[in-house]
Amino acid sequence: MLDSLFDDVKRMNKRQFIYQVLSFGMIVSSALMIWKGLMVVTGSESPIVVVLSGSMEPAFHRGDLLFLTNYPEEPVRVGEIVVFKVEGRDIPIVHRVLKLHEKNNGTVKFLTKGDNNSVDDRGLYAQGQLWLTKKDVVGRARGFLPYVGMVTIYMNEYPKFKFAVLACLAVYVLVHRE
């Protein structure tokens, strides 16, 4: 069985094998370049995020897919939903802007809160941090697709499953010709 799986590969000549590897590389690069292209277009370092918690219910639920933009010329306003990073946390947070102070020179500092949380986010910020500034912002929510992100959540909760799926895909692409 395993032998026949690699039959295709064994029969390839040098150029066919290189092409096989390159076409696998191109599948990965296409996805990568689409992502980077979205980054450039939206101005956000992560243009699509998945909502991981229920802290923004009923606006967003766990598993919703959010589309973000982060144009520097657009001001942050109270009531907007922002995605921000906090030092020492890997995963960005999606919450609403509660209070905002803006100076004449354009610098802003603001406080956020999850719609479904009873307190504001100061407890979530880094030690001693009271406000967020523009540099903490990953993007602002512009649209969403409900539940599509559940797949991502399952993948992250069962990393073995994720690696298995990825490995299968990689082997399939590398082993099958064209």
Residues engaged in binding another protein (CB under 8 A): 4, 7-15, 17-19, 22-23, 25-26, 28-30, 32-33, 36-37, 39-40, 45, 176-178
Nearer to another protein, 22 or 126 (CB): 22
Mark whether 7 is an active-site residue.
no
- Strands, DSSP E only, in the chain? 48-50, 65-69, 81-84, 93-102, 108-113, 132-133, 137-145
Q: CA torsion angle for 62, 70, 86, 106 (degrees, to 10)?
A: -140
Shortest CB 86 distance to another protein, Å: 17
- Residue (33 or 164) nearer to another protein, CB: 33
Question: Which listed residue (3, 23, 90, 95) is catalytic?
Answer: 95
> What single DSSP character describes residue 8?
H
Q: Which is nearer to another protein, 22 or 148 (CB)?
A: 22
Q: How far is the CB of 22 from another protein (least distance, A)?
A: 4
Which entry of 44, 55, 64, 136 is annotated as an active-site residue? Answer: 55
Q: How far apart are CA 97 and CA 67, in angstroms?
A: 17
Buried b (16+ CB within 10 A) or exposed e, 108-129: bbbbbbbeebeeebeebbeeee
Nearer to another protein among residue 37 and residue 146 (C-beta): 37
95 is catalytic: yes
53 included as an active-site residue: no
- Report, as residue numbers or ranges, the catalytic residues: 55, 95, 121
